[in-house]
Amino acid sequence: MKSKRTRLDRFISQQIGINRKNVRTMLAQARLKVDGHLATDIHQFVDEFTQVMLDEKILQAKVPVYIMMNKPIGVVSATKDDKHTTVLDLLKTSLDEKEIERLDIHNLHIVGRLDFNTSGLLLLTNDGRWSRMLTTPEHKIAKLYKVSLANPIDESYIHAFAAGMYFPFEDITTRPAKLEIIADNVALVTLVEGRYHQIKRMFGRFQNPVIALHRLAIGNLTLDGLSENEELPEGAWRELTNQEVTALA
């Protein structure tokens, strides 16, 4: 997803079809406002969420949207699918037309997909820079999963996950992962990357099938509702608070 930052003169030129040189005249005439303030520099950058006005007419007023959902098993991490219910379908069924427009539903994308048979915390946004930050391994945003397995696990798993595992098909070695045993057949796994079916394949090295996988947290964000000690119900969603968005970034 490419950055949507651009210079003010280029933005105005593209929006109303004038020569970029004419934007200087507009600035001198105090006709342009950026985020409520008179624009003074044609070289300043605007992005997709910058409010831009010309002669008090809004040219752009897109608002960033950040949503968390407790994705159920059997729902596709996609915005469109001809065969299965998608996470976007779950959103739409609970919204009227005004809310669909306010939340910019049709421009949302998924931040780190979950498999069809994986449940738990899923994020959606229309902010490409934010989602890139969360999904790029270099930023080391931890993702916490609860894993239920067919067979018992022991401390050898802990060392193997911490050392990383080599996958010859992609010719990559996974980054160190933390594994905590919480029951004979249940573990908590923390990753800072998201390779294809990574957790299932790592346990596959031990011939131990994963029978349930649930994402509990991304960074310090968990599946909590807004009320104390309340967990977001399966299939439910809510918008993130400004504090939560900032904390993840």
State whether 89 and 207 are in the same domain: yes
Report H helices in 208-249.
242-248
Quick one: which of 21, 103, 90 has its CA closest to 64?
A: 103
Whether 45 and 146 share a structural domain:
no
Rounded CA-CA distance 142/139 in Å is 9
Q: 160 and 109, same structural domain?
A: yes
Q: Are 100 and 200 contained in the same domain?
A: yes
What global pTM score does this model have? 0.84
pLDDT at 137: 75
Assess whether 173 and 56 both reside in one domain: no
Q: What is the pLDDT of residue 1?
A: 43
Catalytic residue among 115, 127, 154, 184: 115
Question: Domain range holding 104?
Answer: 66-248
Q: Residue 235 to residues 68, 87, 130, 207, 238: CA-CA distances in angstroms?
A: 10, 9, 23, 32, 11
Task: Please give the pLDDT value at position 218.
Answer: 94
- Residue 229: the pLDDT is 63
Residue 4: its pLDDT value, please? Answer: 75
Same domain, 55 and 74: no
Does residue 192 sit in the same domain as residue 99?
yes
Indicate if 225 and 108 belong to the same structural domain.
yes
Which helix H or strand E contains 69, and what residues bound it?
A: strand 66-71
The number of helices, as runs of H, and strands, as runs of E, in the chain is 8, 17
How many Cβ atoms sit within 10 Å of the Cβ of residue 235? 16
The DSSP bridge pattern shows strands 118-125 and 210-218 to be parallel
Q: Examine the domain organization and report whether 46 and 146 are in the same domain.
A: no
What is the mean pLDDT, run by run of 10 residues, along the chain of 249 residues? 77 91 92 92 91 92 93 92 92 90 90 93 93 85 96 97 92 94 98 90 96 95 74 92 89
H-helix segments, the chain: 8-16, 22-28, 87-93, 97-102, 128-135, 155-163, 198-204, 242-248
Q: Kindly state whether residue 18 falls inside one of the protein's structural domains.
A: yes
Q: 119 with 231: CB under 8 angstroms?
A: no
Together in a domain, 153 and 167? yes
Assess whether 96 carries a catalytic annotation.
no
**Domain match, 17 and 77 both:** no
| Predicted pLDDT of residue 169 | 85
Domain harbouring 76, CATH code: 3.30.2350.10
Neighbours of 105 (CB within 10 A): 18
pLDDT for residue 140: 84
